[in-house]
Structure 1
Amino acid sequence: MNKLPERIRIKDIAHLANVSVGTVDRVIHGRSGVSEASKKRVEEILKQLDYQPNMYASALASNKKYFFICLLPQHLKGEYWTAIEAGIYEAVTTYSDFNTSVKINYYDPYDYHSFVNASKTILAEEPDGVMVAPTAPQYTKGFTAQLKMLDIPYIFIDSKIEDTPPLAFFGQNSRQSGYFAARMLMLLAREEKEIVIFKKIHEGIVGSNQQESREIGFKQYMKEYHPLCKILELDLHAERNDEDNEMLDDFFRSHPNVNTGITFNSKVYIIGEYMQTRKKRKFNLIGYDLLERNVSCLKEGSISFLIAQQPELQGFNGIKALCDHLIFKKDVTRINYMPIDLLTAETIEYYHSK
């Protein structure tokens, strides 16, 4: 074999394999139109040279455009999903040299038909990749089956669906998170005979797979270690926030000795602010996510612990995974669990300022 230059070029490989430059390019990028004999010769040369194409330079030179769509639950500014969006837009800015763009569509988390309609709209737009926060499995699977049929890679964020393998998943291990939350809550509750789970629910729909999985993990811990502790539940109306305080008043009138509770969604501030208003100083409360109102309640002492899960990083890494797969042809790790971060009034400033 002739001495090769330090930087291996496609034309060098073509010369060694006695084929055209176009043939080498087709083999490297997995395109058709190459005979088996030529493909085998090129692949042997690539293996001998341990050739690694410069995908970064190739992507820049290709001028191909990449269009992604994200499907997220409807939310108000400042809520949990706002941080996910910030991570998404940061990723698009990071990869802007590669002609990436993103569109965010929304669905009503308490209306499964809203998800179905939103998914149909996305399929009609034929994106290069999709990132989705799943709803109930029976509705999510219909969407992902069509994405698979169209060879559109998809990312799950926040929660995943069993037996439906995405390109990648970014989120907490929800059951483990709930199990851990129960352990922390019972350190506060000690020997109390009753605790309460606060929910936001609409016509029987919790609105989040992740919340349901957390509750399963929570109850598993309670069954194993505190089987005699009674778990009460208070269902607050998801779409009638003005009734929250009245419902909480009724609950505590009926259960005056309950001093410990948890919610598995990001709106624990509803309970925390109620405790401040009613001057209930000795209630142990755990919730999720670093919304500003949650953090304020944590600092004021009406929330005992917050469990965080780095939503900005989830949004960023979801788009990054699509770019790695589509643009740079890299292998992507399928399951990516986020840390389960337990925060207190004493530690929040060191975390929240990141």
Structure 2
Amino acid sequence: MPEKIRIKDIAELSGVSVGTVDRVLHNRPNVSKTAREKVEKALKEMDYHPNMYASALACNKSYNFYCIIPKHEAEAYWDEIEEGAMSARDHRRDFNIKVKMMYYKRFNLETFAKVTEECLKQEPDGIIIVPSKLDATRKFTDALHERGIPFILLDSYMPDLKPLSFYGQDSFCSGYFAGKMLMLIAGKESKIMLMKQTKNGNVASKQQENRETGFRHYMHDHFPDVDIIDVDLPLDGEREEYDTILEEFFDSHPDVHHCITFNSKAHIVGEFLLRSNRRNVQIMGYDMVSKNAECVRQGSISFLIAQHGYMQGYACVQTLFDAIVLKKKINPVNYMPIEILTKENVDFYRRTQL
């Protein structure tokens, strides 16, 4: 059998015309059942595998992917997601891939509903979603299933919604891991500070809730006598307000030397410690945003847990491309690595695709 199989070769083996083979390969109509069976038998005997890249390029179709994420300020985990998604788009530009970002406000179901309704009107080919509340997200994903539009969940895994795929950390394991790492250096402490950012008593994501649950499970199992003291920094607060809250806390708790947070804003506490010249507090936080990294370099944050936001954004777009354009089989659950960064290795962390 020749190394490169031609349509002519398939036609000769199956005993049909070249035109018939072409129609079968491209799943076009006007092919009899008998002829189709002959071609399919010949394809199997020849172990024929179509060049999906070439077929997709020849198709010259454009694909519109939408990414629905929370509205955010600079220096946030979501910036990494956006950069990764746009990099994947650029990498597949030859296939006419377009990616549009759409934003909703955290804790505001009306904006989530408005954004998702607008997204449906655009008739997207595929969607990446950072879920809101389960019921609100389900309403949207049910509509996607009805229309046959594949979608990927990012950040928070909700298997009942039956996504094409999921990208993110196993957040419970991540929180459990964070507790284990923290207590390697804080095993003799009697108190630990847990910094949160909330609005109306709620943290910003299910992922953060699950991380805290994992952390508390570890502490309950191994350090049940350690007092975990919550410090709430309002989600929409200003630096002056944060500084006041933190100063009051550390003045009234001089015996607290370790802080943990499950969001990407550990730098709020880290920068406060640098300004106030408090050097006896160690912080564990999340995400390799630049302000966090700088605090690690200066020593006010001891550890960061990385979740590869850039790679998640990149992988989500690449997965939609693989599923929709190349018709590849997709891995339904993709947990990101749980990596710990310190002053000694933070500058060697690779956030991008190699």
TM-score scaled by structure 2? Answer: 0.93
SS in 2 for 1:266: coil
Cα gap change, 1:217 to 1:23, in 2 (>3 Å):
farther
Offset at residue 43 of structure 1 (A): 2.2
**8 Å CA contact 1:188, 1:284 repeated in 2:** no
Aligned to 2:247: 249
Cα gap change, 1:20 to 1:126, in 2 (>3 Å):
farther
1:183 corresponds to which of 180, 184, 209? 180
CA RMSD in angstroms comes to: 2.0
1:100 corresponds to which of 93, 97, 101? 97
Residues 1:328 and 2:329 are matched in the alignment? no
Q: Counterpart amino acid of 1:134?
A: P
**8 Å CA contact 1:135, 1:207 repeated in 2:** no
Aligned to 2:272: 274
- The 5 A counterparts of 1:82-97 are 82-97=79-94
Cα gap change, 1:203 to 1:24, in 2 (>3 Å):
farther
Superposed CA deviations along residues 7-41 of structure 1, whole A, max 9, x for unmatched, are 22334324433445555445445566655444333
Offset at residue 303 of structure 1 (A): 0.7
1:337 corresponds to which of 325, 332, 335? 335
Superposed CA deviations along residues 127-160 of structure 1, whole A, max 9, x for unmatched, are 1011111222222222111111111111122221
- The 5 A counterparts of 1:19-98 are 19-21=16-18, 23-29=20-26, 34-98=31-95
SS in 1 for 2:349: helix
Cα gap change, 1:348 to 1:156, in 2 (>3 Å):
same
Partners of 1:281 and 1:295 in 2: CA distance: 17
SS in 1 for 2:300: coil
Q: Counterpart amino acid of 1:88?
A: A
Offset at residue 126 of structure 1 (A): 0.8
1:113 corresponds to which of 86, 110, 114? 110
Offset at residue 93 of structure 1 (A): 0.9
Partners of 1:214 and 1:151 in 2: CA distance: 33
SS in 1 for 2:141: helix
**8 Å CA contact 2:167, 2:336 repeated in 1:** yes
Q: Counterpart amino acid of 1:250?
A: E
**8 Å CA contact 2:75, 2:291 repeated in 1:** no
Offset at residue 228 of structure 1 (A): 1.5
Superposed CA deviations along residues 265-311 of structure 1, whole A, max 9, x for unmatched, are 00110011111122221112100111111111111111110111221
Q: Counterpart amino acid of 1:342?
A: I
**8 Å CA contact 2:308, 2:351 repeated in 1:** no
Partners of 1:315 and 1:173 in 2: CA distance: 17
Partners of 1:136 and 1:33 in 2: CA distance: 48
1:287 corresponds to which of 262, 285, 288? 285
* Of 21-30 and 248-257, the range deviating more from structure 2: 21-30
Q: Counterpart amino acid of 1:176?
A: C
Aligned to 2:158: 161
Q: Counterpart amino acid of 2:68?
A: L
SS in 1 for 2:158: coil
Q: Counterpart amino acid of 1:263?
A: T
- The 5 A counterparts of 1:172-321 are 172-242=169-239, 243-321=241-319
Offset at residue 214 of structure 1 (A): 0.8
- In structure 2, runs of 5+ residues without a counterpart are none
Partners of 1:109 and 1:20 in 2: CA distance: 59
Partners of 1:275 and 1:167 in 2: CA distance: 44
Offset at residue 238 of structure 1 (A): 0.3
Partners of 2:24 and 2:309 in 1: CA distance: 39
Partners of 1:142 and 1:284 in 2: CA distance: 43
Superposed CA deviations along residues 165-206 of structure 1, whole A, max 9, x for unmatched, are 322222111111111000011112112122121111111231
Q: How many residues align?
A: 351
Cα gap change, 1:10 to 1:264, in 2 (>3 Å):
same
**8 Å CA contact 2:311, 2:351 repeated in 1:** no
TM-score scaled by structure 1? Answer: 0.93
